[in-house]
Structure 1
């Protein structure tokens, strides 16, 4: 089982949750709000003290809830939906191998995001805005480029499995 599949299992991403997450509204509201809300919630400890745990909890609930609250999309023939499908293909790479040209770049891009996390966490711990912003920029760079690669992966793999084909409508 891949690490990513273990993480998806921890978030309880059922077939229904994945189908709902393929809604572009889910993808774009998650991309634009989840990280900034979490950062602001952690930073709010300056103003709220221990009460900042409330906005932190709200941000975490939003991250978990987002893939579940939107309806299944009317059409999945769009960049955001295909990015979600590519993530599912990537999670399944231990069962259905992906082409060689897709095997390394996603890991590199995940490393870029992880490096961003180091800067963002450090910036949040010491309340250094520039470290936090640099980290946030690296996280977004890595994640959005990763999603773009997932679109490409899905395009290359959609005919490899009838289940993959069924996601596109």
Structure 2
């Protein structure tokens, strides 16, 4: 089982939850989560321990978000295809992906992860430029990853199909 599939299982992402998460509203309201979390943590010097309230709210939203929206009426949106591509990528050990999609997701995941140390260090030393640089790298890597997932989904699935409708 891949790390992606293990994490999906740990967060309780079953077929119904993935379908709900494929709603573009779910995707687009999840994209700013890292920035909101950073803002909540950054506020610690102004509001002290009260910063735990917005940190908790962001964490709660992160957990609730994949379940908060109904399944989309259409899976033709870029965001829907990106989420469904993530399910295809998570199942890559049992359902092979085309060769052109095998390296980019790993590289882009690493690019996204490269921004995190800058964010953490910037938050510790309160260096706004370092935090913004790290967020930029992390967000760019994640959005590019999502774009590759949409392309992956386009290559492995008929238009408008869900993972449940595809051969396993």
Shared fold (TM-score greater than 0.5)? Answer: yes
Cα distance in 2, alignment partners of residues 80 and 105 from structure 1: 18
Cα distance in 2, alignment partners of residues 56 and 165 from structure 1: 35
SS in 1 for 2:53: helix
2:30 corresponds to: 30
Cα distance in 2, alignment partners of residues 69 and 165 from structure 1: 20
Deviations 1:19-75 (A, max 9, x none): 1111011111111x3112111111111112222112111111111111111111111
1:59 corresponds to: 58
1:2 corresponds to: 2
1:140 corresponds to: 139
Retained in 1: the 8 A contact 2:116–2:134? yes
Residue 31 of structure 2 corresponds to residue 45 of structure 1: no
Retained in 2: the 8 A contact 1:23–1:71? yes
Q: CA RMSD in A?
A: 1.6
TM-score for both structures, normalised by structure 2: 0.92
1:18–1:117 distance in 2 versus 1, CA, 3 Å: same
1:20 corresponds to: 20
Unpaired runs of 5+ residues, structure 2, are none
Cα distance in 2, alignment partners of residues 116 and 149 from structure 1: 19
Unpaired runs of 5+ residues, structure 1, are none
2:90 corresponds to: 91
Number of residue-to-residue matches in the alignment = 164
Cα distance in 1, alignment partners of residues 162 and 148 from structure 2: 20
TM-score for both structures, normalised by structure 1: 0.91
1:62–1:165 distance in 2 versus 1, CA, 3 Å: closer
Query: Which aligned segments of 4 or more residues in structure 1 are displaced greater than 2 angstroms?
Result: 162-167
